[in-house]
Amino acid sequence: MTYNPTLMLSSPHSDTQSPQPAKPRVVIVGPGAMGCLHAGLLGRMPHLQVGLLDHRPDRAKLISNQGVIIEAPEGSYTVPTQCSANPDDFGTADLVIIFTKAYDTAAAAEHAEPLVSEDTAILTLQNGLGNYEVLQKYFPDEQVLAGTTASGATLLGDGRVRQAGLGKIVLGSPAGNHELAQRVAELLQSAGLAVQVTEDVDGLLWRKVLINCAINPLTALTRRCNGELLEIPVLRELLDEVAEEVYEVGQVAGVEWGNFAPGQEVKQVCQATATNQSSMLQDVLAGRRTEIDYITGAVVAAAQQHGVAAPLCQCLTALVKGLALRHG
């Protein structure tokens, strides 16, 4: 896509009389694997101002000094990146992208508040269910967008990631502000990212959580890469069973699945990301807290709310929590 220098997020009626309009400012919240990956991808674009908001001043200083380092299949590269633990260092942003863990969403929203004006779009591309609802407690509903990304990355150290693959971003407005969703999509597309807009945000998030429910806990518990789950018959069968359970809970919760085939979709993701370590496995191996409460745990909560059972998700939630306690 050819970049339009007048593309801003504030309003289609913004003053564009200046011959050199300000570059759109994008601030990414959370310097984990996905945050650093996208800070690097967007930061390579000269028409964007990209910042990375951390909550640790020491790490922020290190990343600002060294830049974001991405190990990509075509070779490693470094992107100079402004990283700070002080949101006032960035000024008001046109787009804020939340990439923290799901359990840190509220803290991230509070930290990012100085970045947000009435013209700022706030986009969550986090794992799990419930993130955009938390953001809507802090910001106007019509400014909050939600989506998923099929890209993957492994955190190798502070500000250093290995790119595991680049996939499509799908996003939309839970409040129905489709014009804002389209403008954000165009901004991300101008940086070379594949982006699609959807009007079915909840369905999108449930499809992603179904895949995460099937793959992430099993990889974390067995210490296996995604593709290995297909090589062992009992695990391959369990993938199908978990996917079907989430599908049924989603139906009761009002999700319109369309022609989505749960078992087939999960297997395709395992094949496409065969050598990847899931984010949950990375967390377990690093001794970090997992997002299990926002993945299988969120499905259990939805099932209880609607009076149905989700025994597999309940079991996986307990096992991963027990694993984290053991290694915590």
Q: Which residues are catalytic?
A: 208
Distance, CA of 216 to CA of 262 (rounded, Å): 15
- Whether the Cβ atoms of residue 209 and residue 292 lie closer than 8 Å to each other: no
Residue 60 CB neighbour total at 10 angstroms: 22
